[in-house]
Protein backbone atom coordinates (compact mmCIF):
# COMPACT_ATOMS: atom_id res chain seq x y z
CA UNK A 1 0.00 0.00 0.00
CA UNK A 2 1.46 3.34 -1.03
CA UNK A 3 0.48 6.82 0.02
CA UNK A 4 2.33 8.01 -3.11
CA UNK A 5 -1.08 7.56 -4.77
CA UNK A 6 -2.26 10.69 -2.96
CA UNK A 7 0.57 13.08 -3.78
CA UNK A 8 0.13 15.90 -6.25
CA UNK A 9 -1.68 19.17 -6.69
CA UNK A 10 -4.03 17.86 -9.39
CA UNK A 11 -6.52 15.03 -9.24
CA UNK A 12 -8.09 13.45 -12.29
CA UNK A 13 -11.24 11.78 -11.02
CA UNK A 14 -14.16 10.11 -12.72
CA UNK A 15 -17.15 9.23 -10.54
CA UNK A 16 -19.61 6.56 -11.61
CA UNK A 17 -22.94 5.63 -10.06
CA UNK A 18 -22.82 1.87 -9.46
CA UNK A 19 -25.83 -0.05 -10.74
CA UNK A 20 -24.71 -3.09 -8.68
CA UNK A 21 -21.96 -2.79 -6.08
CA UNK A 22 -21.64 -6.59 -5.74
CA UNK A 23 -21.00 -6.98 -9.50
CA UNK A 24 -18.40 -4.20 -9.34
CA UNK A 25 -16.58 -5.91 -6.46
CA UNK A 26 -16.66 -9.23 -8.34
CA UNK A 27 -14.79 -7.62 -11.25
CA UNK A 28 -12.35 -5.98 -8.82
CA UNK A 29 -11.59 -9.33 -7.21
CA UNK A 30 -10.68 -10.74 -10.63
CA UNK A 31 -7.92 -8.18 -11.35
CA UNK A 32 -4.66 -7.45 -9.57
CA UNK A 33 -5.17 -4.84 -6.87
CA UNK A 34 -4.12 -3.79 -3.37
CA UNK A 35 -6.45 -2.84 -0.54
CA UNK A 36 -5.75 0.36 1.39
CA UNK A 37 -8.80 -0.15 3.61
CA UNK A 38 -12.37 -1.37 3.38
CA UNK A 39 -15.58 -0.02 4.90
CA UNK A 40 -14.01 3.00 6.58
CA UNK A 41 -16.45 5.61 7.88
CA UNK A 42 -15.53 9.12 6.74
CA UNK A 43 -17.00 12.23 8.32
CA UNK A 44 -16.54 15.40 6.27
CA UNK A 45 -17.06 18.94 7.55
CA UNK A 46 -17.23 21.51 4.75
CA UNK A 47 -16.40 25.08 5.74
CA UNK A 48 -17.34 28.32 4.04
CA UNK A 49 -18.18 31.91 4.86
CA UNK A 50 -21.69 32.93 5.80
CA UNK A 51 -22.06 34.28 2.24
CA UNK A 52 -20.64 31.02 0.78
CA UNK A 53 -17.81 32.87 -0.96
CA UNK A 54 -15.74 29.70 -1.42
CA UNK A 55 -18.62 27.91 -3.14
CA UNK A 56 -19.13 30.92 -5.44
CA UNK A 57 -15.43 30.65 -6.41
CA UNK A 58 -15.75 26.87 -7.06
CA UNK A 59 -13.55 26.10 -4.04
CA UNK A 60 -14.10 23.90 -1.02
CA UNK A 61 -12.37 23.40 2.31
CA UNK A 62 -13.04 20.16 4.15
CA UNK A 63 -11.79 18.54 7.34
CA UNK A 64 -12.14 14.74 7.02
CA UNK A 65 -11.97 12.24 9.88
CA UNK A 66 -11.82 8.51 9.08
CA UNK A 67 -12.52 5.56 11.35
CA UNK A 68 -11.24 3.01 12.08
CA UNK A 69 -8.18 4.02 10.02
CA UNK A 70 -7.59 7.15 12.14
CA UNK A 71 -6.73 9.23 9.07
CA UNK A 72 -7.41 12.96 9.42
CA UNK A 73 -7.12 15.27 6.40
CA UNK A 74 -7.40 18.94 5.50
CA UNK A 75 -8.63 19.02 1.87
CA UNK A 76 -8.83 22.02 -0.46
CA UNK A 77 -10.40 21.69 -3.92
CA UNK A 78 -10.77 24.17 -6.77
CA UNK A 79 -11.13 26.54 -8.37
CA UNK A 80 -10.24 24.36 -11.36
CA UNK A 81 -12.05 21.03 -11.56
CA UNK A 82 -8.79 19.04 -11.32
CA UNK A 83 -7.20 21.17 -8.59
CA UNK A 84 -7.05 19.28 -5.29
CA UNK A 85 -4.65 19.21 -2.38
CA UNK A 86 -4.85 17.30 0.87
CA UNK A 87 -2.58 17.09 3.85
CA UNK A 88 -2.57 14.83 6.87
CA UNK A 89 -3.34 16.52 10.18
CA UNK A 90 -3.13 15.13 13.69
CA UNK A 91 -5.77 17.25 15.43
CA UNK A 92 -9.00 17.72 13.49
CA UNK A 93 -10.68 19.63 16.32
CA UNK A 94 -7.90 22.24 16.36
CA UNK A 95 -8.05 22.55 12.57
CA UNK A 96 -11.81 23.14 12.76
CA UNK A 97 -11.29 25.73 15.50
CA UNK A 98 -8.66 27.50 13.39
CA UNK A 99 -11.05 27.70 10.44
CA UNK A 100 -13.78 29.11 12.70
CA UNK A 101 -11.31 31.68 14.07
CA UNK A 102 -10.64 32.75 10.46
CA UNK A 103 -14.37 33.41 9.94
CA UNK A 104 -15.45 30.12 8.38
CA UNK A 105 -18.34 28.02 9.63
CA UNK A 106 -19.45 24.44 9.00
CA UNK A 107 -21.74 24.64 6.00
CA UNK A 108 -22.32 20.91 5.46
CA UNK A 109 -21.53 17.68 7.28
CA UNK A 110 -21.54 14.42 5.38
CA UNK A 111 -20.81 10.79 6.27
CA UNK A 112 -19.90 8.02 3.84
CA UNK A 113 -18.68 4.45 3.95
CA UNK A 114 -15.51 4.19 1.86
CA UNK A 115 -13.16 1.49 0.61
CA UNK A 116 -9.97 2.35 -1.31
CA UNK A 117 -8.16 0.04 -3.71
CA UNK A 118 -5.00 0.52 -5.80
CA UNK A 119 -4.96 -0.75 -9.37
CA UNK A 120 -1.55 0.04 -10.83
CA UNK A 121 -0.93 3.79 -10.63
CA UNK A 122 -4.64 4.51 -10.08
CA UNK A 123 -6.81 4.37 -7.00
CA UNK A 124 -10.43 3.30 -6.96
CA UNK A 125 -12.68 4.51 -4.19
CA UNK A 126 -15.96 2.68 -3.57
CA UNK A 127 -18.41 4.80 -1.59
CA UNK A 128 -21.86 4.39 -0.08
CA UNK A 129 -23.77 7.49 0.99
CA UNK A 130 -27.12 7.03 2.71
CA UNK A 131 -29.85 8.49 0.55
CA UNK A 132 -27.55 8.86 -2.47
CA UNK A 133 -26.41 5.31 -3.26
CA UNK A 134 -23.21 3.53 -4.29
CA UNK A 135 -20.42 5.09 -6.34
CA UNK A 136 -16.95 4.28 -7.64
CA UNK A 137 -14.37 6.99 -8.16
CA UNK A 138 -11.45 6.20 -10.47
CA UNK A 139 -8.62 8.65 -9.81
CA UNK A 140 -4.97 9.61 -9.91
CA UNK A 141 -3.10 12.46 -8.22
CA UNK A 142 -0.28 14.19 -10.09
CA UNK A 143 1.83 17.32 -10.27
CA UNK A 144 2.10 16.94 -14.08
CA UNK A 145 -0.64 19.17 -15.46
CA UNK A 146 0.30 18.20 -19.04
CA UNK A 147 -0.80 14.57 -18.40
CA UNK A 148 -4.31 15.30 -17.11
CA UNK A 149 -6.11 14.40 -20.35
CA UNK A 150 -3.97 11.29 -20.88
CA UNK A 151 -4.84 10.10 -17.38
CA UNK A 152 -8.51 10.92 -17.97
CA UNK A 153 -8.55 8.65 -21.06
CA UNK A 154 -6.78 5.86 -19.15
CA UNK A 155 -9.34 6.12 -16.35
CA UNK A 156 -12.21 5.83 -18.85
CA UNK A 157 -10.57 2.65 -20.16
CA UNK A 158 -10.14 1.26 -16.64
CA UNK A 159 -13.78 1.99 -15.77
CA UNK A 160 -14.87 0.21 -18.96
CA UNK A 161 -13.22 -2.97 -17.61
CA UNK A 162 -15.84 -2.79 -14.86
CA UNK A 163 -18.68 -2.36 -17.38
CA UNK A 164 -19.03 1.35 -16.60
CA UNK A 165 -19.66 3.88 -19.34
CA UNK A 166 -20.56 7.51 -19.77
CA UNK A 167 -24.15 6.52 -18.97
CA UNK A 168 -23.20 5.93 -15.30
CA UNK A 169 -20.84 8.93 -15.07
CA UNK A 170 -21.80 11.31 -12.25
CA UNK A 171 -20.51 14.85 -12.76
CA UNK A 172 -21.83 16.32 -9.51
CA UNK A 173 -19.80 16.32 -6.31
CA UNK A 174 -21.13 14.50 -3.27
CA UNK A 175 -21.50 17.91 -1.71
CA UNK A 176 -23.76 19.21 -4.49
CA UNK A 177 -25.77 15.97 -4.55
CA UNK A 178 -26.26 16.16 -0.78
CA UNK A 179 -27.28 19.81 -0.92
CA UNK A 180 -29.77 19.07 -3.72
CA UNK A 181 -31.48 16.35 -1.61
pTM for this structure?
0.85
Residues paired with residue 140 on neighbouring β-strands, in sequence order: 12
CA 39 to chain centre: 15
Residue in 46, 117, 151, 174 annotated catalytic: 46
Report how far residue 50's alpha carbon sits from residue 77's, in angstroms, rounded to the nearest whole number: 19
Predicted confidence pLDDT, tens digits, the chain (181 residues): 445 667 778 889 999 999 999 999 999 999 999 999 999 999 999 999 999 999 999 999 999 999 999 999 999 999 988 888 889 999 999 999 999 999 999 999 999 999 999 999 999 999 999 999 999 999 998 889 899 999 999 999 999 999 999 999 999 989 889 888 7
Report how far residue 54's alpha carbon sits from residue 102's, in angstroms, rounded to the nearest whole number: 13
**Number of domains present in the structure of the chain:** 1
133 sits in the region (left: phi over 0; alpha: psi -120 to 50; else beta) called: left
8 Å CB contact between 126 and 27 = no
Domain boundaries, position 124: 3-180
**Residue 117: active-site member:** no
Q: What is the CATH number of the domain that holds 140?
A: 2.40.320.10
Residues paired with residue 125 on neighbouring β-strands, in sequence order: 116, 137
CA 18 to chain centre: 15
Amino acid sequence: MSHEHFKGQFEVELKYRLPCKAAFLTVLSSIEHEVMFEDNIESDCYFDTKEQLLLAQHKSVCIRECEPSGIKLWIVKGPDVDRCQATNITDAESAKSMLKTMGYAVHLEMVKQRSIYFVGKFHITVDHLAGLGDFAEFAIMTDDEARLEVYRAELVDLAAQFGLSEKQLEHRSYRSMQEAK
